[in-house]
Amino acid sequence: MVVEERHQFLVTDEVRDTAFGSTGPARPGMIGWLRRIIRGWALAGGALLLLLAVATTWSAIGAALFGRPLPGEVELAELGVAIAAFSFLPYCQLIGANVSADIFTTGAGPRTVAVLKAISGMVAFGFALLLLWRMNAGLADYRRYEEITTILRIPIWIVFVPALASLALLAIASLISIRDAVAAVRRG
């Protein structure tokens, strides 16, 4: 294990892997496959944000130079950012990058931190299931009432489909993080 000291923080191989793009050690089997899917889903969300940035820039240039912005660019941005934001949730859960209060665990031992991570994973799992349930109901409502965007006439319910997929992946990522935390507790 390589250990470096940077800015008063201890950086290990494991932290470096999670902080700089990996979802932990390469693992064979279903867990490794699920980790790669979650990472790919987040990368797809990032690619979507990049496309939205290009569309927004194109619209601004078109408006400034030719008086013709990209029609519906704001609608695309609203829908796309919602999709992208949801796509990052599972990856953030998987690498432990969601909101945390490190001030409470600064002096805690590895076992205590692992127990707290297991609890936070359970909370994230419950949150994912609750949102899956309620957003599924929202999807049904938007499909029933056929609400669409004003300019491009895109059905609003379409955004719910990738959001629900993201929440399902968040539930899976939560279970993986619980599994990892319980394994850390057992290791001591």
Three-state DSSP class for residue 170: helix
Sequence-distant (6+) residues with CB within 8 A of 57 are: none
Within 10 A of 3 (CB to CB), how many other CB atoms are there?
A: 9
What is the DSSP track for 140-186?
A: HHHHHHT-B-SSS--BTHHHHHHHHHHHHHHHHHHHHHHHHHHHHHH
Cβ atoms of residues 176 and 94 within 8 Å? yes
CB-CB contact of 155 with 164 (8 Å): no
DSSP 70: P
H or E element in which residue 63 lies: helix 29-66
Whole-number pLDDT of residue 105: 78
Give per-residue pLDDT as tens, 52-72: 999 999 999 999 999 999 999
Kindly report the pTM of this predicted structure.
Answer: 0.83
Q: Where are the beta strands (DSSP E) in the chain?
A: 3-6, 9-12
Tokens 């797809």, located at residue: 44
pLDDT given at position 101: 67
Lowest-pLDDT choice from 7-11, 45-49, 158-162: 7-11
Instruction: Say what the pLDDT of residue 79 is.
Output: 97
Q: Give the whole-angstrom CA distance, residue 147 versus residue 143.
A: 7
What does the alpha-carbon distance between residue 34 and residue 42 come to, in Å, rounded to a whole number?
A: 12
* Confidence at residue 104, expressed as pLDDT on a 0 to 100 scale: 74
Q: Output the CA torsion 82→130→146→163 (10° steps).
A: 30
